[in-house]
Amino acid sequence: MTTRTQVAIIGAGPSGLLLGQLLHKAGIDTVILERQTADYVRGRIRAGILEQVTVDLLKEAGVGERVQREGIVHHSIELVFAGTRHPIDVHGLTGGKVVTAYGQTELTRDLMDARQGLGLPTVYEAADVSVHDFDADKPMVRYRKDGVEHTVQCDFVAGCDGFHGVSRATVKDRITEFERVYPFGWLGVLADVPPASPHAIVYGNSDRGFSLCSMRSLTRSRYYVQCPLDDKVEDWSDKRFWDELRLRLDPGLAGKVITGPSIEKSIAPLRSFVAEPMRFGRLFLAGDAAHIVPPTGAKGLNLAATDVKYLSGAFIEHYRDRSAAGIDTYSQRALRRIWKAERFSWWLTNLMHRFPDTQGFGQRVQEAELDYLVHSRAASTALAENYVGLPL
Ligand code: APR
Ligand code: PHB
């Protein structure tokens, strides 16, 4: 079967769904092709800190209502090191900017519900998606569904299919990859208990390793501890996790950690990755398809959102103004912001974790930098302005 659309979007993660929503608002037709089932996409658990730019974009896309109502605004973050907690007044240091705690799971649900409510086409369980003729004027995407072959003819293809997707793989000979892998993982636990620190995300550096206190709501907490990459989730009973978390925090905060049964527990590796460029004729990459950051600093979802902002703007300029300017500059504009977030996430990861191969010198430098950071207004401001998100 052959269908036609203006923009074929591969992947129904946050990037693909948000792009579809913004294009719909501008009167542009899309079809989304997703490999997984809708339930699988809805159930994924990931980070949950939104920059103001991301919240504004959700509003612009018509899906900002629940995040504004239920998202929890944070004015500060805290750093724990040497057994002491240090607040960083992000709001004050950035002239009034904040971040919002709102789970990616909730955001995905809002976007899926909106798309479904509008009756826009999304094909779940689309198998063997492949992209063709994107160097010519009339690209197409092929896939198989329930054993039947389909072709989508389109003007543009948006590769929003994540790190393991087909879009980047299709152009792998034309890409330069930049990568750094880190010698540890994050063990994350989700639990229906009130957060120990409801007003600020806490990043902890201790001689036992990194820890993070975050939240999804006033009754649901998200915590992480740095762990060896070869650890298995089964090695970590709930009790072991809670004990370890407390040992990595300052005594005051450790005393506030309320424990309960985990409702999700997983280990994720940490990686920095960028693929350049992000445009190949009429095929564009956006979000995790083009770049990955380690979760320290929560930039992954926010970067995906700004890629989509640039890309939707480029398509709108093409159709509305008959201008190729946005399309021609997409890759360059997106990469400029991406590399700043890559730098920040890499820096914060280096600052807050124990590296197995760090010698005494590296350790002392890390301690000195943390001390400098919390006592220098200039250094705290640099952290704060990156944390809330750099200007577009
Ligand atoms: N065909 C169709 N769909 C695919 C294919 C394929 N060959 N490969 C992957 N997909 C789908 C995945 O199943 C997934 O639903 O593409 C989607 C990509 O979604 P994400 O991985 O969430 O990537 P993205 O939308 O760019 O979101 C970035 O989400 O993963 C987090 O940390 C990341 O916060 C960041 C944000
Ligand atoms: C999360 O809430 O999952 C989270 C928060 C901050 C981070 C990373 C993850 O830097």
Amino acid 320: pLDDT: 96
- The answer to whether residues 125 and 197 belong to one domain is no
Angle formed at CA 308 by CA 306 and CA 312, multiple of 5 degrees: 125
Residue 185 · residue 228 · CB < 8 Å: yes
Closest residue by Cα to atom 3, ligand 2, is: 47
Q: For the beta carbon of residue 126, count every other beta carbon within 10 angstroms.
A: 23
Identify the nearest ligand to the CA of 14 by its number: 1
Tokens representing 283?
A: 């095929």
C-alpha 161 to ligand 1 mean position (Å): 4
C-alpha 138 to ligand 1 mean position (Å): 25
- The answer to whether residues 46 and 111 belong to one domain is yes
Amino acid 358: pLDDT: 82
Is 83 a member of any domain? no
Domains in the chain: how many in total?
2
Q: Ramachandran region of residue 228, left (φ > 0), alpha (ψ -120 to 50) or beta?
A: beta
To the nearest 10°, report the CA torsion of 293, 298, 302, 304: 30
Ordered strands of the 72-74 beta sheet:
49-50, 99-101, 72-74
C-alpha 54 to ligand 1 mean position (Å): 17
Is 53 a member of any domain? yes
Tokens representing 221?
A: 């907490």
Q: Are strands 30-33 and 7-10 parallel, antiparallel or unpaired?
A: parallel
Amino acid 211: pLDDT: 98
The pair phi, psi for residue 100, each rounded to 5°, is -120, 130
**Which residue among 34, 272, 302 has the greatest number of ligand 1 atoms within 8 angstroms of its CB, and so is best to mutate?**
34
Contacts of 68 (CB under 8 A, 6+ apart): 55, 59
Tokens representing 40?
A: 């699988």
- The answer to whether residues 331 and 317 belong to one domain is yes
Amino acid 46: pLDDT: 82
CATH number of the domain that residue 319 is part of: 3.50.50.60
To the nearest 10°, report the CA torsion of 79, 80, 81, 85: 100
What b-and-e string marks burial along 251-283, b requiring 16 or more CB atoms within 10 Å of the CB? eebbeebebeebeebebeebebbbbbbbbbebb
- The answer to whether residues 339 and 322 belong to one domain is yes
- The answer to whether residues 321 and 253 belong to one domain is no
Closest residue by Cα to atom 4, ligand 2, is: 47
Contacts of 152 (CB under 8 A, 6+ apart): 2, 3, 4, 5, 8, 31, 33, 140, 141, 142, 143
**Which listed residue (14, 24, 74, 97) is catalytic?**
74
Angle formed at CA 35 by CA 286 and CA 56, multiple of 5 degrees: 40
Amino acid 315: pLDDT: 98
**Which listed residue (102, 295, 309, 310) is catalytic?**
295
- The answer to whether residues 204 and 322 belong to one domain is no
Closest residue by Cα to atom 6, ligand 2, is: 298
Residues above pLDDT 70, as percent of the chain: 100
- The answer to whether residues 247 and 145 belong to one domain is no
Cα dihedral sign for 134, 138, 144, 147? negative
Distances (CA, A) of 259 to 225, 246, 250, 316: 15, 10, 16, 49
Is 374 a member of any domain? yes
Is 92 a member of any domain? no
Start-to-end CA distance of the chain, whole Å, equals: 41
- The answer to whether residues 65 and 24 belong to one domain is yes
The pair phi, psi for residue 46, each rounded to 5°, is -140, -165
| Domain, as residue range, for 187 | 182-270+354-388
List all residues whose CB is within 6 A of at least one atom of ligand 1. Answer: 10-16, 33-36, 41, 46-47, 104, 126, 129, 160-162, 164-166, 287-289, 300-301, 304
Active site residue 74: yes
- The answer to whether residues 212 and 276 belong to one domain is no
Q: Point out the residues of the chain with pLDDT beneath 50.
A: none
List all residues whose CB is within 6 A of at least one atom of ligand 2. Answer: 47-49, 201, 212, 214, 222, 295-298
To the nearest 10°, report the CA torsion of 160, 166, 170, 176: 60
C-alpha 232 to ligand 2 mean position (Å): 21
Amino acid 357: pLDDT: 82
Is 44 a member of any domain? yes
Closest residue by Cα to atom 15, ligand 1, is: 13
**Which residue among 15, 157, 186 has the greatest number of ligand 1 atoms within 8 angstroms of its CB, and so is best to mutate?**
15
Ordered strands of the 127-132 beta sheet:
2-4, 148-153, 140-145, 127-132
Cα 263 to its chain centre, rounded Å, is: 21
Active site residue 387: yes
Active site residue 299: yes
CATH number of the domain that residue 257 is part of: 3.30.9.10
Q: What is the pLDDT of residues 99-146, one digit of tens each?
A: 999 999 999 999 999 999 999 999 999 999 999 999 999 999 999 999
Residue 161: DSSP 8-state: -
- The answer to whether residues 15 and 36 belong to one domain is yes
C-alpha 72 to ligand 2 mean position (Å): 13
- The answer to whether residues 259 and 384 belong to one domain is yes
Is 186 a member of any domain? yes
**Which listed residue (24, 97, 299, 318) is catalytic?**
299
Is 84 a member of any domain? no
C-alpha 248 to ligand 2 mean position (Å): 17
- The answer to whether residues 370 and 247 belong to one domain is yes
Is 293 a member of any domain? yes
